[in-house]
């Protein structure tokens, strides 16, 4: 049950974290090339990407969490 919890948590967080990491990597490379070291240049695009990923993948994430919660509730009788 605990491994299912961690696996579901990883799967649900992966789209947001993955996209944010890719944008952060792209912005870091851009900063190295242009030698512009501005903190808000990295923060704002990653924040917007995370928000867009939650909007786009939100229904899928909610469905996965709902399936996990349903699996937990239906598995309660087999625990006793």
Distance CA 26, CA 42 (A): 9
pTM of this structure: 0.80
73 falls in which pLDDT band (50, 70, 90)? very high
| pLDDT tens-place string over residues 32-57 | 898 888 878 889 999 999 999 999 99
pLDDT reported for residue 55 = 97
Spell out the domain ranges in the chain: 6-73
| % pLDDT > 70, the chain | 100
Distance CA 52, CA 66 (A): 21
Q: Which residues contact 16 (CB under 8 A, 6 or more apart)?
A: 50, 53, 54, 57
61 falls in which pLDDT band (50, 70, 90)? very high
When pLDDT is averaged across residues 12-24 and rounded to a whole number, the result is 96
- Distances from the Cα of 46 to the Cαs of 26, 39, 40, 61, in angstroms? 10, 11, 10, 19
């Amino acid at each position: 049950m605990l491994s299912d919890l961690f696996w579901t948590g990883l799967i649900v967080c992966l789209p947001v974290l993955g996209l944010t990491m890719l944008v952060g990597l792209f912005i870091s490379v851009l900063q190295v090339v242009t030698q512009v070291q501005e903190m808000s240049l990295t923060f704002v695009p990653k924040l917007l990407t995370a928000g867009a990923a939650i909007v786009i993948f939100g229904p899928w994430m909610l469905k996965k969490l709902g399936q996990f919660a349903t699996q937990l509730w239906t598995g309660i009788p087999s625990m006793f």
